[in-house]
Structure 1
Amino acid sequence: MSLTMEAILQQARPVLPVLVIEDVGSALALAQALHAGGIRVLEVTLRTPRALEAVSIIRRELPDLIVGAGTLIHAEQFLEARDAGAQFAVSPGCTERLALAAENVQMPYLPGVLTPSEVLLALEYGYRSLKLFPANGTGSVKMLKSLKGPFTGIRFCPTGGINVDNLLTFLRLPNVACVGGTWIAPADLVKARAWDQITQLASEACSLAASLDAPR
Structure 2
Amino acid sequence: MTTHELKQPGVSMADKIARIDQICTQARILPVITIAREEDILPLADALAAGGIKTLEVTLRSAHGLKAIQVLREQRPELCVGAGTVLDRKMFAAVEAAGAQFVVTPGVTQDILEAGVQSDLPLLPGISTPSELMMGYALGYRRFKLFPAEISGGVAAIKAYGGPFGEVRFCPTGGVNPGNVKSYMALPNVMCVGGTWMLDSGWIKNGDWGRITDCSAEALALLD
TM over 0.5: yes
Looking at structure 2, the residues matched to 143 and 123 of structure 1 have their Cα atoms a distance apart, in angstroms, of 17
1:51 aligns with 2:56: no
- Deviation digits for residues 47-81 of structure 1 (CA, Å, limit 9, x no counterpart): 11121001111111111111000001121111100
Aligned partner (choices 148, 151, 159) of residue 162 of structure 2: 148
In the TM superposition, residue 103 of structure 1 has moved relative to its aligned partner by 2.6
Question: Is the 1:20–1:48 contact (alpha carbons within 8 Å) kept by the matching residues of 2?
Answer: yes
2:101 is aligned to 87
Unaligned runs of at least 5 residues, structure 2? 1-10
1:214 is aligned to none
In the TM superposition, residue 153 of structure 1 has moved relative to its aligned partner by 2.0
Higher deviation after alignment, 43-52 or 103-112? 103-112
SS at match of 2:214: helix
Looking at structure 1, the residues matched to 148 and 141 of structure 2 have their Cα atoms a distance apart, in angstroms, of 18
2:211 is aligned to 197
1:10 is aligned to 25
In the TM superposition, residue 137 of structure 1 has moved relative to its aligned partner by 6.4
Aligned partner of 2:155: which letter?
V
In the TM superposition, residue 138 of structure 1 has moved relative to its aligned partner by 9.2
Looking at structure 2, the residues matched to 123 and 6 of structure 1 have their Cα atoms a distance apart, in angstroms, of 16
Aligned partner of 1:33: which letter?
A
In the TM superposition, residue 104 of structure 1 has moved relative to its aligned partner by 2.8
- Deviation digits for residues 112-167 of structure 1 (CA, Å, limit 9, x no counterpart): 01111111111111111100000116931110010011111211000011111111
1:100 aligns with 2:100: no
Where do residues 59-138 of structure 1 align in structure 2 (5 Å cutoff)?
59-136=73-150
SS at match of 1:209: coil
Aligned partner of 2:56: which letter?
L
Aligned partner of 1:110: which letter?
L
- Deviation digits for residues 24-46 of structure 1 (CA, Å, limit 9, x no counterpart): 11111100110111112110000
Unaligned runs of at least 5 residues, structure 1? 211-216
Looking at structure 1, the residues matched to 53 and 146 of structure 2 have their Cα atoms a distance apart, in angstroms, of 21
Question: Is the 2:117–2:139 contact (alpha carbons within 8 Å) kept by the matching residues of 1?
Answer: no
Aligned partner of 1:26: which letter?
D
SS at match of 2:41: helix
Identity rate, percent: 44
Aligned partner of 1:178: which letter?
C
User: How many residues of Structure 1 are paired with residues of Structure 2 in the alignment?
Assistant: 209
Question: Is the 1:78–1:105 contact (alpha carbons within 8 Å) kept by the matching residues of 2?
Answer: no
Question: Is the 2:82–2:100 contact (alpha carbons within 8 Å) kept by the matching residues of 1?
Answer: yes
